């Protein structure tokens, strides 16, 4: 008889992606295990792209009495599924109350809330683990070390959805898609300059004139995307704020190349094995890098970096300003060349 386990999902896209190796390890250790994931609606499409997930359950949203009533209904519905274990990847009163209502006997997670910065701590004195390993450790007893290398995050492509999203946004069927993810929400110390993205768009258009150039991001990043398109002088598709998470996944999963900062979209591109360049400034790629052989990291490793600040304490943002568009373009070209060489049949 198969066992049931419930995963209480993180609330951010990048963290959700980095939780996938935990699920892979759980299934590796117990192939009969059936895993369901409880997520916010925004994170649900990420877990729906994981081969290990049987069902994705969307958590109630809202506030007040209606939310409380919905939580109680969900708790009793989960109780009927008779989960044996719950893996808690977020620290919240909601999760604690829900697990109590669901009557899940074994609850597994790290003590205390995870720091939202890129400075993860595993809870053991003097030890700092990348987030992938931090989550993966939950697949093993507390004092058991990780058995060698943890697998990289991997998500499933959905070709039918990829074709549908091309049609929905007017992207040519046979054109390579290059995705720029400026990530304006994290402040100037974490965002590669707009003018650099614009120059990179021009370089890409010169090299691949048939390509579709797309900017993805939130509604708050739409003005930055508009500026990139205007400065580049290229027909850049500004889709910031226009795509759902499911749409975004479908675009990133088929991209010929992706250029981003340290963001959730960076981790999505890596999980789909897309050629990519990840640009780091104030954060540290050693703790949450894109886990893909087709990823290239641009990081100057200045004495003042990483500072983990949203605004540069020194006022110059050299850690990002000094990463040139040409350097990013050359790195992306190498990543694309790696994909071409790596997939060529051996003769």
pLDDT tens-place string over residues 320-333: 999 999 999 999 99
With beta carbons less than 8 A apart as the criterion, state whether 267 and 261 touch. no
Phi-psi region of 301 (alpha: psi -120 to 50; beta: other; left: phi over 0): left
What local confidence, expressed as pLDDT, does residue 183 receive?
84
Does the pLDDT of residue 264 top 70, yes or no?
A: yes
| Architecture (CATH level 2) of domain 4-139 | 3-Layer(aba) Sandwich (3.40)
High-pLDDT (> 90) share of the chain, %: 71
Q: Which residue has the higher pLDDT, 336 or 123?
A: 336
pLDDT tens-place string over residues 16-62: 999 999 999 999 999 999 999 999 999 999 999 999 999 999 987 77
Q: What tokens appear for 176 in the block?
A: 């390579």
Secondary-structure class of domain 160-343 per CATH: alpha beta
What local confidence, expressed as pLDDT, does residue 319 receive?
94
pLDDT mean over 301-315:
91
Domain range summary for the chain, segments of one domain joined by +: 4-139, 160-343
Does the pLDDT of residue 212 top 50, yes or no?
A: yes
């Amino acid at each position: 008889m198969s066992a049931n386990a419930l995963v209480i999902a993180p609330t951010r896209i990048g963290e959700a992606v980095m939780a996938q190796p935990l699920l892979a390890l759980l299934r590796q250790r117990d192939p009969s295990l059936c895993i369901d994931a409880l997520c916010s609606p925004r994170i649900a499409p990420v877990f729906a792209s994981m081969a290990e997930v049987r069902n994705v359950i969307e958590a109630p949203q809202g506030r007040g009495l209606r939310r409380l009533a919905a939580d109680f209904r969900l708790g009793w519905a989960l109780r009927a599924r008779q989960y044996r274990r719950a893996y808690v990847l977020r620290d919240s009163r909601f999760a604690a109350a829900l697990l109590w209502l669901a009557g899940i006997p074994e609850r597994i997670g790290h003590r205390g809330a995870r720091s939202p910065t890129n400075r993860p701590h595993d809870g053991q004195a003097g030890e700092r683990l990348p987030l992938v390993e931090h989550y993966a450790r939950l697949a093993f007893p507390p004092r058991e070390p990780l058995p060698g290398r943890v697998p990289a995050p991997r998500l499933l492509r959905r070709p039918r959805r990829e074709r549908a999203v091309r049609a929905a946004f007017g992207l040519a069927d046979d054109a390579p898609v290059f995705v720029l993810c400026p990530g304006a929400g994290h402040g100037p110390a974490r965002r590669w300059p707009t003018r650099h993205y614009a120059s990179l768009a021009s370089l890409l258009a010169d090299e691949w004139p048939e390509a579709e150039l797309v900017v993805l991001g939130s509604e708050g990043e739409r003005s930055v995307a508009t500026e990139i398109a205007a400065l580049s002088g290229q027909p850049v598709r500004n889709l910031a704020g226009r795509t759902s998470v499911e749409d975004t996944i479908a675009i990133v999963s088929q991209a010929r190349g992706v250029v981003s900062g340290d963001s959730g979209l960076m981790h999505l591109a890596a999980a789909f094995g897309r050629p990519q360049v990840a640009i780091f400034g104030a954060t540290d790629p050693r703790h949450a890098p894109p886990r893909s052989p087709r990823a290239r990291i641009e990081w100057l490793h200045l004495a003042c970096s990483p500072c983990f600040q949203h605004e540069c304490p020194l006022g110059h943002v050299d850690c990002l300003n000094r990463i040139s568009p040409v350097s990013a373009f050359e790195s992306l070209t190498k990543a694309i060349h790696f994909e071409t060489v790596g997939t060529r049949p051996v003769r």
